[in-house]
A and B are shown apart, each in its own frame.
Chain A
Amino acid sequence: MNLMPASVTGTETLTEPLLSVRGLRIAFGSARGALTAVDGVDLDVAPGEVLGIAGESGSGKSVTLRAILGLIRPPGQVAGRVLWRGRDLMTLPERELRRVRGGEIGIIFQEPMTALNPVLTVGTQIRENLKEHTTLDAAARQARAIELMDHVGIPAAKARLDDYPHQFSGGMRQRAMIAIALASNPKLLLADEPTTALDVTIQDQILKLILRLRSEMNMSVVLVTHDLGVIAQTCDRLAVMYAGRVVETGPVATLFKAPRHAYTLGLLNSVPRADLVRQPLNSISGQPPLLFQLPHGCAFAPRCRFATDSCNATKPPLIALDAEHRTACIHHGEVAKAT
């Protein structure tokens, strides 16, 4: 199924998704054997929507983003299809793929201090993006760079262009990185834990900035994070990943109110609540599986209180509960009763 409802304005028009990932598999060779980071992931992103991908470290969410842009290098191997505006990015020749990168899809990373080249000025890093994807001349590029810095909320934009990354504060660096990534007006922004390295007040500013840019530039966003609070604040839809697979996906409100996968339930329960008096912290017992020793059946079964034998037999596929909500749990009924 690749027809998705548009979710931004709530209008029920069916539109072709902007990005469609089908059967993504990513594995790495290591000394101990093949390590499966992503084990068959399907995702859709509609125009203008913010899709959140939530999961703990090692769930494969970051590596999924990078695979979309073809940034996984050997010894990593990627299989599957990544359909962007109808074209499969996985089979695109390098030259075409380069045009998509930065020009049509932008990406920002978690830690701006390591993502920005320390020996080049921020201005240089913006302008090289413009040089690659636009036909603006040098003067126009400079002007656009100033405009971008302004747009992301960096004061004294013109002067700051000649500064180096280490001369910016954490929040400003993140804004600079956003400016660099969005320089050529991409239609999709992939954000890999953009606020994890920031403190809470700055986090809020950056998230608001991303949302503002989303509407101003008519852009979609895929936001990867482990922080459910961030998801709640910004995302329209959510895909929960565990051990390299999507285990539940649907509108954020639905998932938060009525999760239908034990892992999602566990995640929601483990968020400390400020309104209750003196509750012990809930955590999901056990550990995520080692990625080179994935179990045959449901990867979450060993830690799941609803698990039965049939869970260990085969990997559960995503079952559609309604038009928008899907879960990979055969016992979703039990989960529903537990919420």
Chain B
Amino acid sequence: MTLNYVVVRLLQILPTFFLIMLVCFFLVRLLPGDPTSAMLGIKANDADVARINASLGLDQPIPVQFGYFLRNFFRGDLGDSIVLKVPVMQLVAERLPVTLFLTGFAAIFSVLLAVPLAVMAALRRDSPVDTTIRTGFQIGLSTPVFYLGIVLLTFFAARLHWFPVGGFGNTFGEHLYHLFLPAITLALSLSAVLLRNLRNSVIEVLTAEYVDFARAKGLRGRVVLLRHVLRNALIPTVALFGLNIGTLLQGAVITETVFAIPGVGRLLIDSIFGRDYPVIQGIALVLALLVSLVFLLTDMVQAALDPRIARR
């Protein structure tokens, strides 16, 4: 995988970035009336209105307004929160790392959960073990994240006091402790998706001729499994993992609400009730850009894993 490839892919993503910003730009303009009073509500005073009008260039034609929007974005200015009266960028910068921590933690859990179980289910295909695993995950797939969160929170935190009831903590260790239950909650939905895919992938790979050929060479079972089967079976699953980053993020929104975690998701929900449109717009924008980057990373990881993908 060459630098060339990376650069090409980065360039390919720019139009998408552009479109994302376009959509977010128009998002706020869905509101009736002029955006400013809609945003500020009836509490607006003339000075605020004038200031926002100037920064958004609302007296200018739309394309120019968009230009202002882009310019502001690259300056790191996403507007100010109406409710909290601080720059949106500052809020996002404070809270995004929390969300990313939670998401990353959940991602690790989901892999730790899904991979061994998927392999076990695939190797013992159609056995009671397989059926149990698949049924369990099927149920998990149908369980809403908020419900699972509430159940876990009530049982393990409120009742058994094994974990704190939400929050984030101050040190790295405390973060892990506070986020343990939320991460598990979040991990379950993603691991259900991964499990199904990986199990099918392993089953398919197990029937491949190169697995027979590896066995025919007299290689040990474990070697065959790890080096030959998993290396191949994981490739489509990695792709799926990347594509489902959106699932993780939207689960994070809900999980943060249930567990009162000071992340970007909870901020989003609070902003809706507070009608804090600049924040909503800012979060949507940042999340969408983040997801696009993850897609790009996923492609690159796939190319690194699978030598058949064209290396130019």
- Mark A residues whose CB is within 8 Å of B: 66, 69, 71, 98-103, 106-107, 109, 111, 114-120, 128-129, 132-133, 164, 166, 177, 180-181
Contact = CB atoms under 8 A, between A and B. Distances in A.
Contacts of A69: 216
A101 B213 CA distance: 10
Nearest to B234: A119
Contacts of B306: 118-119
A129 B217 contact: yes
B212 interface: yes
A118 B208 CA distance: 11
Interface of B: 208-210, 212-220, 223, 227-228, 231-232, 235, 305-308
Given A111-B209, A115-B210, A128-B227, A98 B218 contact: yes
A171 to B, nearest CB: 18
B217 A114 contact: no
Contacts of B231: 117, 119-120
Nearest to B209: A114
29 contacts: A71-B215, A71-B216, A98-B218, A98-B220, A100-B218, A101-B215, A102-B216, A102-B217, A103-B218, A107-B216, A111-B209, A114-B209, A115-B210, A115-B212, A117-B210, A118-B306, A119-B235, A119-B308, A128-B219, A129-B218, A129-B219, A132-B218, A132-B219, A132-B220, A132-B223, A133-B218, A166-B307, A180-B213, A181-B217
Nearest to A163: B307
A106 B214 CA distance: 11
Contacts of B218: 98-103, 129, 132-133
Contact of A116 (B213, B219, B305): B213
Nearest to A72: B212
A109 B223 CA distance: 21
Given A66-B212, A71-B212, A109-B209, A118 B308 contact: yes
Given A98-B219, A115-B212, A119-B235, 17 more contacts: A69-B216, A101-B215, A101-B217, A107-B213, A111-B209, A114-B208, A115-B213, A117-B213, A117-B214, A117-B231, A118-B232, A119-B305, A120-B231, A132-B220, A177-B213, A180-B213, A181-B216
Nearest to B208: A114
A181 B223 CA distance: 17
Contacts of A120: 227-228, 231
A132 B215 CA distance: 11
Contacts of B232: 117-119
Contacts of B223: 128, 132
A contacts with B: majority SS: helix
A69 B213 CA distance: 11
Nearest to B207: A73
B304 to A, nearest CB: 11
B11 to A, nearest CB: 27
B142 to A, nearest CB: 31
Contacts of B217: 101-102, 106, 128-129, 132, 180-181
A130 to B, nearest CB: 10
Contacts of A117: 210, 213-214, 228, 231-232
B229 to A, nearest CB: 9
Nearest to A166: B308
A99 B216 CA distance: 10
A120 B227 CA distance: 9
A100 B305 CA distance: 32
8 residue pairs, one from A and one from B, having the closest CB atoms: A102-B218, A101-B218, A102-B217, A114-B209, A117-B210, A98-B218, A164-B307, A115-B213
Nearest to B219: A132
A289 B222 CA distance: 40
A119 B228 CA distance: 8
B140 to A, nearest CB: 30
A165 to B, nearest CB: 9
B35 to A, nearest CB: 52
Contacts of A133: 218
B31 to A, nearest CB: 52
Contacts of A109: 209, 212-213
Nearest to A133: B218
A114 B208 CA distance: 7
Nearest to B217: A102
Given A111-B209, A114-B210, A128-B227, A119 B216 contact: no
Contacts of B212: 66, 71, 109, 115
B227 A164 contact: no
Contacts of A180: 213, 217
A216 B220 CA distance: 29
